[in-house]
Amino acid sequence: MLHLVKVVSSSPTFGLYSNDPVSLLESKGYEIEFLYREITSNEEKFAEALRDADALIVGVEKITPTVLAGAEKLKVIAKHGAGVDNIDLAEAGKRKIVVTNAPGANRHAVADMVFGLFLSIARSIPQANQDVKRNKWPRIIGNEIFQKKLGVIGTGRIGQEVIRRAQGFQMKVLCYDLYPNENIEQLGLGKYVSLEELLKESDFITIHTDLNDATNALIGEAELLAMKKSAFLINTARGGIIDERALYQALVNGELKGAALDVFEQEPLLEAPLLSLPNFVATPHMAGYTEEALREVGILTAQNVIDVIEKRQPAFIV
């Protein structure tokens, strides 16, 4: 008797905005079960839901040893996105579960968002919008992006798209990455420098690196003090890369002109001192979420699942 492949999805956005990824799995005859937060927020319930699963598609839900305890049939954990810091990779490895991700599938969405946030904070667009809607008509003086120095921390797929967009603003691009991409300098798109030089020289700084032991609190008090007082800082990568308490002090003390974060140490962010500041813009971890990006990341995630189930090497294996 042919075994029916069961795919469990705990990602709240997989298949939500485009049914194409779901259709791709169904075309293979796979059974798909969607889990709701009531289950995924409880480790024991989550673990029970995975007992007969062959594949798990996951968003930002925590995949712990407890969650995987009874998942004897599980062959693949496919991240519906890029970052896998929410998945216990050691436990997955011990259980011989393949972990895949979909890096760069949302690169255009995030790169667009970066410049949306730069413009928002440099020109005080959110504040201006609120004022006008409250029947105020203030004179707001902002800053231009044109021909300014842009610092890009992390030059992977998303960082490269940001650099390409910066050419339209004729920005001078400074890059920092432990693994430099030679093409960036060869094409004249940017120059690799030390982190210290990037922080010191940049007018706008954007972060596009993973969250790991080396990047946790990468931007702390010392790094913020090293930046220009006129600089603007953006993070659309992962919460925790910037020390939020140090960032608050830097903004309050005028050590930094403005900042915008799409990601936070604790999400959802309901209360935080940062939210009280006029020179701070917050968005709800939305940078990678566009209809186009969600379709692309969904298709790539589904294909990763299919490749593992059919015993092929997936395109992106962690």
Which one of 44, 144, 267, 291 is the catalytic residue?
267
Q: How is 236-258 classified by DSSP, letter by letter?
A: -S-TTSB-HHHHHHHHHTTSSSE
244 is catalytic: no
Closest CA to 232 of 107, 97, 115: 115
Which one of 238, 244, 265, 296 is the catalytic residue?
238
Which one of 51, 157, 245, 285 is the catalytic residue?
285
> Which pair of structure tokens corresponds to residue 69?
């305890």
285 is catalytic: yes
Q: Which residues contact 304 (CB under 8 A, 6 or more apart)?
A: 76, 78, 100, 101, 102, 314, 315, 316, 317
208 is catalytic: no
- Supply the angle between the helices 125-133 and 107-122 in degrees, to the nearest 10: 60
Distance CA 301, CA 57 (A): 8
The amino acid that residue 57 corresponds to is I
Distance CA 267, CA 283 (A): 11
Q: Which residues are designated catalytic? A: 238, 267, 285
